[in-house]
Amino acid sequence: MLKTLRTGALALALSLGAVAGLVVSRPAISAAAAGPTVKIDNFVFGPAALTVPVGTTVTWINQDDIPHTVVASDRSFKSKVLDSDERFSFTFTKPGEFGYFCSLHPHMVGKVIVKAA
């Protein structure tokens, strides 16, 4: 019985170590978050306007104490409700001006200007 308990405890420890190793080896920042970012704070998108080349992934980060969303005026992209410290990323694949707003606070607006490469 004692040998079975030790074997089970060892198996559990090895399993937990394997899971911990997976978590530790994950990169702290995803590739999408390495591109330009727009911070959401104090009911403002900052910067309010961002110019990027085609193919760029932009990441919005909610640094406010309350939830917000990021919704394109033309509905080409839409985030879920972002709680504090949550992120939303979108890759712009064509040139143009893409206005966006927070659907919870429509006075919050911003714009991504996408230039051809």
Helix (H, G, I), strand (E, B) or coil at 103: coil
What is the C-alpha separation between 62 and 69, in angstroms, rounded? 9
How is residue 56 annotated by DSSP? Answer: P
Give the model's pLDDT for residue 86: 98
Q: Where are the domains of the chain?
A: 32-115
- Looking at the chain, the whole-number percentage of residues with pLDDT higher than 70 is 72
Give the model's pLDDT for residue 29: 39
**pLDDT tens-digit series, residues 10-35:** 444 444 443 333 333 233 334 445 79
Give the model's pLDDT for residue 73: 98
Decide if domain 32-115 falls under CATH 2.60.40.420: yes
Averaged pLDDT score across all residues of the chain: 81
User: Which regions of the chain are under pLDDT 50?
Assistant: 1-32
Between CA 39 and CA 43, with CA 40 as vertex, the angle to 5 degrees is 145
Give 57-84 as a DSSP string. EEEEEE-SSS-B--EETTSS-B---B-T
Give the model's pLDDT for residue 17: 42
Q: Which of 64, 74, 69 is nearest to 94 (CA)?
A: 74
Q: Pairing between strand 44-46 and 87-91? A: unpaired
Give the model's pLDDT for residue 95: 98
What is the C-alpha separation between 2 and 12, in angstroms, rounded? 15
Give the model's pLDDT for residue 14: 40
Give the model's pLDDT for residue 88: 98
Q: Pairing between strand 109-115 and 57-62? A: unpaired
- Alpha carbon distance, N-terminus to C-terminus of the chain: 69
